[in-house]
Amino acid sequence: MDPVVAVLRFGLLWLLLFLSINLYFLDFRVSWESLIGFQENLGNLTQVPDPGRWTLGLCLLFLSAILKAHWVLPLIQILVTTWFCDRSWKPPTNSSRKRIMQADDSIWSFVQQPDSWVSYHEGRRPRRCPYSCDYDLSDRAYHCSHRSQCLPMYDHFCPWLQSDVYLRTLKQYCFVLAFLPLDGIYSIAVAIYTLTNPEQRLAAPFAASVIFSTSVVLYVGLYNSVPAFHRIVWCNALWPERRGDKWTLVFKVQHGNEWRLHAHKFDKNPYDLGPAANLRQLLGEHWWQWPFFWWSPQRVSRYGNYVDRDLPYADFVSKKYTELVMPDLTSVATDPPRPSPIPGQGPSRRQAARSSASRRTARGAVLKVIRAVAVEISEYCLLLAIGSAASNTLSKNTAAAPDNAPCRSPSLRREQSGTPFVQEHRSCSGKRTVPLA
């Protein structure tokens, strides 16, 4: 029997043994008792502990707590989520709004030509669980034989953790794969330091136990970490998709009053968005969300609730859908072909001249409209500035002139000079004046 398989059967027991020995020997006996020396100082209060040893003990305790918290707590969340939260998971029932869906590979036997299609039944999916689950499957949902249940983005059942690795536990699983080997390397380093220190010779049996248990954990952890990180993080691929036979997609297209499914089989992973985008899909959209293992990424909360798909696809999938559904828009978006330097191929010179002349005419018309709008806006702004200045000047003059001050208007000057004035008028102060005889 493979030794890895034998160890995996008792994975949780090995992890519990590794954690117990490390907490007792490394954290309590070495960091707390030996370096900090708390119990020795209780009997002699006048003794001052060595600052170097005290600082080293605190640093080792802090580093050990950080490493263990980043794989023990994610492991607990994985167990709780797998065995208690998602025992009755069902695929989303909003398949009528999806335009791109994953299909079973068997549908490709019916659709071998690019222009072939199959009829679409409203509310159904082109995938169905071939096992005991009696319902249609959403994208990247696969069956777990250990629990007899289909799960979204199911990768595999981990016997080391005794839990499923799928959409809601992928981030926590990567935390365990990353920090468990780091904690093992830290444990071996502290154990070797203890064996080489003459003051810690009595702790040699505990150091040997730490090295043995850590070696087993490191062997199994590194045995699974490298391929798992390359598959999940770098390529955004799952274990059931490793052979490439799950990359058949269908595009929902309307022909008159009928909906049809056009199938296409891709030769590369349609879910691979690139290493950087795959990492954001796994850990979170923003970098400050990455250190928090309990912070679910966007695709966990939005699975099945995207606009026209269950999960994001690569750009070549969207391009294929655009070419199939909207050929007119693709022809408009592309530039007209340039004249070919080879005689007899490509558009003629007259066609090229007409095309360039039409483009120049359209460009000139657009520039004329922009110029006219700019002139109108400038004139309007000038009129507003002149009106604002005039109103400010008039308000200042009115506020500065007293009630008994002589008015500067021509009518009032005639009235003050004794010239008879027949019509009634108002002074600058707003009072009605009486014409002189």
DSSP result, 162-220: TEEESTTTHHHHHHHHHHHHHHHHHHHHHHHHHHH-GGGGGGHHHHHHHHHHHHHHHHH
Tell me how many degrees the CA angle 299-305-310 measures, rounded to the nearest 5. Answer: 70
How far apart are alpha carbons 185 and 14 in whole angstroms? 16
pLDDT at 130: 84
pLDDT at 39: 46
In sequence order, which residues have a C-beta less than 8 Å from that of residue 143 and are 6 or more positions away? 129, 130, 131, 133, 149, 150, 154
What does the buried/exposed string (b/e) look like for 245-274 if buried means 16 or more CB atoms within 10 Å of the residue's CB?
A: ebbbbbbbbeeeeeebbbbbeeeebbbbbe
Q: How many CB atoms are located within 10 Å of the residue 103 CB? A: 22
Average pLDDT for consecutive 10-residue bins of the chain (437 residues)? 59 85 85 70 54 84 93 94 88 80 74 66 83 87 90 91 92 93 89 78 72 80 83 91 80 82 86 92 92 92 87 90 66 48 50 61 76 82 79 67 49 45 44 43
CA distances from 418 to 105, 422, 432, 437 (A): 111, 12, 17, 8
Instruction: Provide the 8-state DSSP code for 246.
Output: T
Q: How many CB atoms are located within 10 Å of the residue 422 CB? A: 5
Nearest C-alpha neighbor of 233 from the set 315, 302, 177? 177
CA distances from 57 to 64, 66, 185, 323, 418 (A): 11, 14, 18, 64, 108
Whether 74 contacts 170, CB under 8 Å: no
pLDDT at 340: 47
